[in-house]
Homo-oligomer: A and B are copies of this chain.
Amino acid sequence: MHSAAAMNPPRILDGKALATTVLATCRAEAAALHAQGITPGLAVVLVGEDPASQVYVASKARTCAELGFYSRKIELPATTTQQELLDVVCTLNADPAIHGILVQSPPPKHIDEAAIIRAIDPRKDVDGFHPENVAKLVLEDPSGFVPCTPAGCIKLLDSAGLATAGAEAVIIGRSMIVGKPLALLLVSKHSNATVTIAHSRSRDLPAICRRADILIAAVGRPEIVKASWIKPGAVVIDVGINRLADATKKSGYRLTGDVAYDEVAPLCAAITPVPGGVGPMTIAMLMQNTLQAARQSEFKKIQKPNFFLDHA
C-alpha cells in the first residue's frame, strides 16, 4: 500500500490551458473557412430567465466572438409555448447562416425537452443529444456529434498521453449527458478501456471506485469521492460543478467538484481541478462541434453543384 506522503505530487490536468489550445485551433480553422466564404454560425436559444443559464449563454456568445464565429442569441420568455419553441427551432434549421443549434437546458417545466431536441436538424445538433447522434455514438460512426462534456473528458485524457487501452475506468453516474456517452466512448475502439458504470444504486461504491485506474465522477454531489475511494496512482476526472456554502467567500459559496480534491489529489497520478478542469473543455468541444457542422455543410455545398452538373 502506498502512503500519500510517499507519492509524487499529482499532475494537474489543466482544462483551461487545454481549452485555450483547442480554441486557438478552432480560430485558425474558422479563418480558413472564412477564406472559402463560410462563417461558422451558432444559435443559442434561451427560454426563461434562469441566471445560471444566462451566464452560460453569454459565455458561449463571447467565445464565438473571440473565434470569429457568427453567433445568435435568441431569448424567449418563460411563457413560450412548445409550438412557439418548435417554430424557432424550425426556422434555425432552415437558416444557412446557422450551423449549430443549442437550446439551453433546462427549459421551463411545461416544455417537452426531448421533443425539442428531436426537432433540431441532427446535422446542426452540436450538443449531440439528438437520437441520430446518440445512435452514431453507439455505432462508433464518426460523422455524428459527440456530447461536449464527455468529448472534453476524452480530450483531456488523450492530450495528457494517459493510456486508456486495457485500463479500468469507473464512471460514477449514468446520465444521458455524461455517464452513458462517456462509457460508450471509453469502451469504443478509440479508447479500449474496461468500463464500469456505477450509480446511486450501486453497492459499495467506494470499493468499486478503488478498482479504477481512471475514475470519472459525474454525480453532482459535492465532494462525495473521498481519499479512501482512490487507488493510489489513479487518474481522476471530476465532472461535478457544485456550490458549497463557504462563509469565507464574499459570494457566500465556493465551487467544488464531486471529488474532495484536497484529500484525493495527493493520491493521484493526475487529477482535474474544479473549476478549470472539465468545465472549460465543455465549451471548447462545443466550438469544435460547431466548426465540424460548418465544415460538413460546406462539403455538401461543394458536392451539390457537382451532382447537378453530372445530371445536367
- Interfacial chain B residues near A174, Cβ < 8 Å: 187
- Determine the distance from Cα of A180 to Cα of B131 in the docked complex, in whole angstroms: 16
- Determine the distance from Cα of A3 to Cα of B180 in the docked complex, in whole angstroms: 38
- Interfacial chain B residues near A135, Cβ < 8 Å: 131-132, 134-135, 138
Q: Which of A40-48, A71-79, A190-198 contacts B (4 or more CB under 8 A)?
A: A190-198
A109 on the B face (CB < 8 A): no
A116 on the B face (CB < 8 A): no
A199 on the B face (CB < 8 A): yes
- Determine the distance from Cα of A187 to Cα of B202 in the docked complex, in whole angstroms: 10
- Interfacial chain B residues near A137, Cβ < 8 Å: 138
Contact of A183 among B132, B197, B203 (CB under 8 A): B197
SS of A interface (majority): mixed
Are A187 and B194 within 8 A (Cβ)? no
Proximity bits, A97-115, B CB within 8 Å = 1, else 0 = 0000000000000000010
* A202 closest partner in B (C-beta): B194
CB distance from A117 to the nearest CB of B (A): 10
In the complex with contacts A194-B203, A203-B194, A138-B138 CB distance below 8 A: yes
CB distance from A5 to the nearest CB of B (A): 28
A184 on the B face (CB < 8 A): yes
- Determine the distance from Cα of A151 to Cα of B183 in the docked complex, in whole angstroms: 20
Contact of A131 among B114, B131, B208 (CB under 8 A): B131
- Interfacial chain B residues near A180, Cβ < 8 Å: 138, 184, 187
Are B199 and A196 within 8 A (Cβ)? no
- Interfacial chain B residues near A166, Cβ < 8 Å: 201-203
- Interfacial chain B residues near A28, Cβ < 8 Å: none
A31 on the B face (CB < 8 A): no
Are B197 and A192 within 8 A (Cβ)? no
Are B192 and A201 within 8 A (Cβ)? yes
Proximity bits, A159-196, B CB within 8 Å = 1, else 0 = 00000011110000010100010011001000010111
A139 on the B face (CB < 8 A): yes
- Interfacial chain B residues near A155, Cβ < 8 Å: none
Contact of A139 among B134, B165, B203, B208 (CB under 8 A): B134
CB distance from A56 to the nearest CB of B (A): 23
From 124 to 141 in chain A, residues with beta carbon under 8 angstroms from any chain B beta carbon are: 131-132, 134-139
- Give 9 closest A-B pairs by Cβ, nearest first: A131-B135, A134-B135, A194-B202, A196-B196, A192-B201, A166-B203, A135-B135, A187-B197, A194-B198
13 A-B pairs with C-beta separation under 8 A: A131-B132, A131-B136, A138-B138, A138-B176, A166-B201, A166-B203, A167-B203, A180-B187, A183-B183, A194-B208, A195-B196, A195-B197, A211-B211
